[in-house]
């Protein structure tokens, strides 16, 4: 059974889509910068095939979740608390799956039961924050123009970062999140997420967490100097061939077969 | 007013050359590093302004902006359609 629910939260409302297959843990997917829960649409049939429960969340100001009020900030404290509200609703051990800058929700130690953490090219090293850092160097007004261009570019905004096999219609669908996002949410999370990546705060927060961790990287994303970092925190690494930063749409089966099989470490 | 394709080509070659890119109308702009996806949107906004056209969303596809020649084709086609 798949349902989309709206959860009340201190700062507004959070949209969550949940698919239940059986009693047990839930894989909770958190999208990266600018994207919404439809990023994970390919996961639902594969979760069912694996007999896994899964949920996808829109962070505040993205997708169908409301932005925080003007007197609050879109920082990763508020966003982490939104994820905690979702976890509370799910009321089960959580396999947390974080794409890109969503890793920053771990800046605030989760108080809900986490079984495992899987990063899809999560922000751990400065080099992981190249795009968001470029945004962080803009003024808020420049960023507004940038977001409008992303929205207008649609599928083209992924040119050079997504393999050519992904249908344009699917990329347009994913890019439609740029049309709906709250610009303040986009800018403020880009700034905090990139700065906290660069100063090592996210990495340190991740190191402090005892849960098993896995890191998936697209082989097409190019060289990455995080090997020692992953080894030092006993984090398993998996490479996804023929995929890059948007691996979950480029090669969903390879990605989700790993994500839903937590025995693979 | 009809826009001459050759004028669009020459204007765009000059624009890219001013940015330090040695291109002709057939150069594949993305592959040559003369354009990224967000530059492409700037380019579209520029031709809209320079030639008084509106580029609909359906035209914002790789096939229309991979080279200066393709951009010129799109501009002249949209211009002709609006007159």
Q: What is the mean pLDDT of residues A185-207?
A: 96
Q: In this predicted structure, what is the pLDDT of residue A144?
A: 95
Distance of alpha carbon A153 from alpha carbon A167, whole angstroms: 15
**Interface list for A 42-101 with B (CB within 8 A):** none
Q: What sign does the dihedral B22-B28-B33-B36 (CA atoms) show?
A: positive
Which pLDDT value is given to residue A164?
A: 82
Angle formed at CA A228 by CA A222 and CA A231, multiple of 5 degrees: 110
Beta strands in A65-194 (DSSP E): 94-99, 114-120
Q: Which residue has the higher pLDDT, A265 or A106?
A: A106
What are the angstrom distances between the C-alpha of A154 and each of A27, A169, B83? 28, 9, 28
- Here the ipTM equals 0.78
How far out from the chain centre does Cα A230 lie?
19
Q: Which strand ranges, in their side-by-side order, compose the sheet holding A235-240? A: A2-9, A12-19, A53-57, A26-30, A94-99, A114-120, A213-218, A235-240
User: pLDDT confidence of B82, banded at 50, 70, 90?
Assistant: confident
Task: Inform me whether the pLDDT recorded for A166 exceeds 90.
Answer: yes
User: If you ran DSSP here, which 8-state letter would residue A100 be given?
Assistant: G
Contact flag A154-B57 (C-beta cutoff 8 Å): yes
Interface contact flag, B60 A156, Cβ < 8 Å: yes
Mean pLDDT over residues A206-218, rounded? Answer: 96
Of A149, A155, A160, the CB nearest to B41: A149
Predicted confidence (pLDDT) at residue A160 exceeds the cutoff of 90: no
Q: What is the pLDDT of residue B1?
A: 65
> Per-residue pLDDT averaged across A112-131, rounded?
95
Instruction: Assess contact for A248 and A226: CB atoms under 8 A.
Output: no
Residue A264 has pLDDT above 80, yes or no: no
Percent of chain B with pLDDT over 90: 71
SS3 B75: helix
CB pairs under 8 A between A and B: 37
Q: What pLDDT does residue B77 have?
A: 95
A265 pLDDT higher than 70: no
Q: How far is B42 from chain A (nearest CA, A)?
A: 8
Looking at CA atoms only, how far is residue B75 from chain A in angstroms? 17
User: Per-residue pLDDT averaged across A175-192, rounded?
Assistant: 96
d(CA A23, CA A53): 8
pLDDT in tens, B3-35: 899 999 999 999 999 999 999 999 999 889 898
> What average pLDDT does the structure give for chain A?
95
* Average pLDDT of span A88-92: 98
**Cβ contact A158–B37 (<8 Å):** yes
Q: Please say whether the beta carbons of B10 and B71 come within 8 A.
A: no
Token output for A241? 């061939």
Chain B residues in contact with A174 (beta carbon < 8 A): none
Of A139, A109, A115, nearest to A262 by C-alpha is A115
Residues of B in contact with A156 (CB under 8 A): 37, 40-41, 60-62, 65
């Amino acid at each position: 059974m798949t349902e989309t629910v709206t959860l009340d939260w201190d700062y507004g409302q959070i949209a969550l889509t949940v698919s239940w297959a059986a009693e047990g843990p839930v894989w909770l997917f958190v999208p990266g910068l600018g994207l919404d829960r439809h990023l994970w649409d390919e996961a639902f049939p594969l979760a069912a095939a694996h007999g896994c429960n899964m949920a996808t969340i829109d962070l505040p100001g993205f997708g169908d979740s409301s932005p925080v009020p003007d007197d609050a900030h879109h920082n990763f404290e508020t966003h982490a608390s939104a994820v905690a509200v979702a976890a509370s609703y799910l009321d089960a051990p959580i396999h947390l799956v974080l794409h890109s800058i969503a890793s920053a929700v771990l800046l605030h130690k989760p108080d809900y039961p986490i079984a495992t953490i899987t990063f899809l090219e999560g922000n751990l090293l400065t080099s992981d924050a190249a795009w968001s850092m470029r945004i962080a160097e803009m003024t808020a007004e420049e960023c507004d123009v940038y977001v409008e261009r992303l929205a207008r570019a649609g599928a083209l905004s992924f040119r050079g970062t997504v393999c050519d096999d992904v249908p344009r219609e699917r990329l347009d669908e994913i890019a439609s999140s740029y049309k709906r996002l709250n610009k303040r949410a986009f800018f403020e999370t880009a700034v905090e997420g990139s700065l906290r990546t660069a100063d090592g705060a996210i990495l340190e927060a991740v190191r402090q967490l005892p849960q098993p961790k896995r890191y998936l990287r697209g082989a097409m994303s190019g060289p990455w100097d995080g090997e020692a970092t992953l080894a030092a925190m006993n984090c398993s690494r998996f490479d996804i061939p023929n995929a890059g930063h948007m691996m979950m749409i480029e090669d969903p089966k390879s990605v989700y077969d790993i994500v839903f099989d937590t025995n693979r470490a | 007013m009809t826009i001459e394709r050759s004028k669009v080509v020459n204007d765009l070659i000059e624009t890219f050359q001013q940015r330090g890119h040695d291109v002709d109308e057939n150069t594949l702009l993305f592959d040559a590093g003369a354009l990224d996806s967000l530059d492409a949107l700037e380019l579209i906004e520029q031709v809209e302004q320079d030639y008084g056209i509106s580029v609909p969303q359906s035209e914002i596809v790789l096939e229309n902006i991979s080279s200066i020649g393709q951009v010129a084709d799109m501009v002249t086609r949209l211009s002709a359609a609006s007159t």
